[in-house]
Amino acid sequence: MQRLIGFIFFIIISIDASHAEPVQISTSKSLKKIINSNLEPSYLAFGNGLDFTLDGHKKWTIFNKALYEGQINLHLAGFERLNNKGWDYMTKVSGQFLVRQTTEKSAPVKTPGYLPRVTFYLWDSVEKKEEKPNYWSLRLSHHSNGQAGDFYNPNGTINTDSGNFSTNYVELSSYNFFGLKELSDLTSWTWTQLSLIWHPGFNRDKNLDGQYEDLKVAVAFRTAPLKPWFLFKTEFKLYARLSYVISGLDYRVAPIDYSLPDNVDVTPVAPVPAKWHDRLHFEARALFNLPQYFQNINFFVKYDVGRDYYNILFRNRFHKVQIGLIGNPFGQWDATQVPKR
């Protein structure tokens, strides 16, 4: 019954949609709606999906045992200035909650992810002819799993059941950093994002040093809604993101911390240095809506390869395809998100 209640809860959250009106691009308020359209929606991914993960000759058992993965994103507006006379700004106070429920009988939800954050957005409200508006953001975020257990098990493996995971980071992003103009079919429906993520080490578990990111760069793009003739009335969007860890990930398998107590039975493990491909993570999503059948239900197909984003499972690598339901906040499917001159 507990699993069923949790499953229904995430379905309700992931299909929740705000009934946004069509975006009319003419003032600084329209850019606010563009910013809202780029916020992360809630989603619910079903079961295992298609798992291509290989670790030697064994598949990664954590993901294979997944019943569902759900992410709740709540975005609240903070203070703002929208006067169209120069530099305008707004803030978002967001809460992100990530849970992966397994099929195990006892304690099926382990180490959920908590990511409270504050994001400051800045843009020049003076119109630039023949160009899409660009803007910048500065995000302060915490990431933890709500656990207080030892990071390592007595045998030297990472405690993925109750081990503490905690870090804080700063993310600086530029949107439409290419300064794309509306002069071709290609650039008229693309938005780009360039981000620099830095973990300064404040209130961070010391065991993450050397085996978790300190500095990372990411580039992403998304399209406006597309309506190909072969999908009838169905719209879809494409989203892709590629990230690379510049520093911090020194070891793919890090040395064991022998200073911990009760490690008398630990088998010495030589550290395995991380290679360039260990630092890469690639994600691609296709988002669909079915207006002819449903009111507020959209679904997605997601391809993911790289290190796991699920807090204490960061050492694991996966290669998978997920399908599920996704929210539709802030007029996500609105095709008029490009400014009209």
The domain of 243 spans: 2-331
Between CA 96 and CA 116 the distance in angstroms is 6
Task: Spell out, as residue ranges, where the chain has pLDDT lower than 50.
Answer: 1-26, 56-58, 130, 183-184, 329-330, 332-341
Q: Is residue 51 part of a domain?
A: yes
Are 194 and 173 spatial neighbours (Cβ–Cβ below 8 Å)? yes
Residue 198 has a pLDDT of: 97
- For residue 304, give every residue at least 6 positions away whose Cβ sits within 8 Å of its Cβ, in sequence order, or none: 281, 282, 283, 318, 319, 320, 321, 322
Residue 109 has a pLDDT of: 75
Q: Is residue 338 part of a domain?
A: no
Residue 25 has a pLDDT of: 43
DSSP state of 184: S
Q: Is residue 252 part of a domain?
A: yes
Q: Is residue 232 part of a domain?
A: yes
Average pLDDT score, the chain? 77
pTM: 0.81
Are 47 and 66 spatial neighbours (Cβ–Cβ below 8 Å)? yes
Q: Is residue 49 part of a domain?
A: yes
Q: Is residue 340 part of a domain?
A: no
Residue 216 has a pLDDT of: 97
CATH number at residue 287: 2.40.230.10
Are 247 and 279 spatial neighbours (Cβ–Cβ below 8 Å)? no
Residue 137 has a pLDDT of: 95
Q: Is residue 118 part of a domain?
A: yes
Count of structural domains, the chain = 1
Q: Is residue 339 part of a domain?
A: no
Residue 328 has a pLDDT of: 67
